[in-house]
Chains A and B, each alone.
Chain A
């Protein structure tokens, strides 16, 4: 028996559990409950255009905030004069793998009406704030969950950057700001691009974060898919929405790939 055959069970399993389900999503998206062909499921999505728009808008805000906060963090972690930056990197990146639900739950505790932040406000003589249910709270929850996904690829790229390039720029008289804007930033574009992908994707598809941080008042695409599948038991429209979401994501990945053709930003590995 040839050694390559050892991969056969793996190949069969992966095809069965990734390709077949995705094909079924397409099938359900274009059929009625009884199985006849239709495009009505897709057109029904336009009824929910505001939800779609909100999801995209919040995901964009979240991605922008993650980039603003995450880039300096990655840059500082990767800088040469930081000792012990390796263990720091582990600490900042670890939450990436930790259950997002538990982390959102922790955030909820801080933001609740009777929560820790409001108690703190009161102690400082400030008025109590209604935070849960606002877009701000959802956004904080999203940034909190997805920030490490932005930091990792940028950090990886910056760490690999040849320090002599920066030294050369310094020797040639560039001031620190110019070194960053003309040398470091352009060279870290692949990292930025893959960071944007890695944050935008989960942000636009999130469902539990918005529900918990807004106690159900803010409704995003992910929440809608959940509702169609679980509560309303309408798998056809749910599938149509999943399909639209997948296509949106593939398009955005395609755009970003153009900016980083060699995939230098590196994914998780």
Chain B
């Protein structure tokens, strides 16, 4: 009797979780399926096609947005990885008060709503008379990417044996060389995770890009302006590709960070 009811409880739990998963993933699955539907209408399935994907690569606007997205993501990742890693190393060596001040500053962009971050950066660029385009989008991306790198590197530094660096200096190593030869190899896994996370966040961003760039559009901005006009199958194809890339990146990041925690 007891065993039976326990089985029922377990079945209920699985059913509930399966429903939540369905809620989260069915819309995405439907969209992926529709990206292969020959019919423009969502109401009927008239056969399998790759046409919408082919059309994607014929559109100049989408190819231009792809270029902007990748350029900005790569550049933002490079700069924020360097800034964030150096920031973490510096903060780790700092006195408590300054370090906690800087830490709070790093939390700020994460707690500010995206729309406020977006409009505030837009205001600053307008105030400084910098035209809103790829360059301003890049600066904004560096600003929100860098804390992710910092928070990925910090735990690595805390785990590190502090005597190693001192020993290197005592043995006559130049501080920069010690940074490169002693600290960097120790924290490298954190740096790579941080860089991957920064790259993903940059690819993924819509709100902040939308407000900080007007001449150049990234892929999310293209999807938004298309979505406001109504639904187009090429956008399903584009969204499907973006989903898969982001999902793959997220799974890699997740794998790396859960391995580190163990």
A78–chain B nearest beta-carbon distance, Å: 11
Do A7 and B42 touch (CB < 8 A)? Answer: no
Do A3 and B27 touch (CB < 8 A)? Answer: no
- Count class of interface residues, chain B: 35 or more
Do A108 and B231 touch (CB < 8 A)? Answer: yes
A179–chain B nearest beta-carbon distance, Å: 13
Do B102 and A103 touch (CB < 8 A)? Answer: no
CB within 8 Å of A: which of B196-226? 200-201, 204-207, 211, 220, 223-224
Tell me if A208 is interfacial: C-beta within 8 Å of chain B.
yes
B227–chain A nearest beta-carbon distance, Å: 5
Do B42 and A115 touch (CB < 8 A)? Answer: yes
Nearest A residue to B149 by beta-carbon distance? A10
Do A4 and B93 touch (CB < 8 A)? Answer: yes
Nearest A residue to B238 by beta-carbon distance? A102
Do A101 and B113 touch (CB < 8 A)? Answer: no
Do B115 and A205 touch (CB < 8 A)? Answer: yes
Q: Find chain B residues with CB under 8 A from A212 CB.
A: 227-228
Interchain CA distance A4-B106 in the complex, whole Å: 16
Q: Find chain A residues with CB under 8 A from B231 CB.
A: 105, 108-109, 112
Tell me if A28 is interfacial: C-beta within 8 Å of chain B.
yes
Do B27 and A246 touch (CB < 8 A)? Answer: no
B114–chain A nearest beta-carbon distance, Å: 7
Q: Find chain A residues with CB under 8 A from B204 CB.
A: 97-99
Nearest B residue to A221 by beta-carbon distance? B115
Q: A79-B13, A92-B20, A106-B30 are in contact. Are A28 and B242 (CB under 8 A)?
A: no
Which of A19-27, A38-46, A167-175, A184-192 touches B?
A19-27
Q: Could you mark each residue 1-38 of chain A with 1 if its beta carbon is under 8 Å from any beta carbon of chain B, else 0?
A: 11111111111011101111110110010000000000
Q: Find chain B residues with CB under 8 A from A61 CB.
A: none
Nearest A residue to B124 by beta-carbon distance? A21
Q: Could you mark each residue 199-212 of chain A with 1 if its beta carbon is under 8 Å from any beta carbon of chain B, else 0?
A: 00110010110011
Partner pick for A7 among B87, B110, B120, B179, CB 8 A cutoff: B87
Tell me if A110 is interfacial: C-beta within 8 Å of chain B.
yes
Q: A106-B31, A109-B27 are in contact. Are A202 and B113 (CB under 8 A)?
A: yes
B136–chain A nearest beta-carbon distance, Å: 11
Partner pick for B123 among A6, A25, A91, CB 8 A cutoff: A25
Do A7 and B228 touch (CB < 8 A)? Answer: no
Nearest B residue to A107 by beta-carbon distance? B27
Q: A90-B254, A229-B122 are in contact. Are A9 and B83 (CB under 8 A)?
A: yes
Do B94 and A4 touch (CB < 8 A)? Answer: yes
A residues near B, CB below 8 A?
1-11, 13-15, 17-22, 24-25, 28, 69, 72-73, 76-77, 79, 81-82, 88, 90-92, 94-95, 97-110, 112, 114-116, 118-119, 144, 147-148, 201-202, 205, 207-208, 211-212, 216, 222, 225-226, 229-230, 235, 238-239, 242, 245-246, 249, 253, 267-269
Q: A24-B127, A76-B17 are in contact. List 6 more A-B contacts (CB 8 A).
A: A14-B109, A91-B25, A95-B24, A106-B31, A108-B231, A246-B116
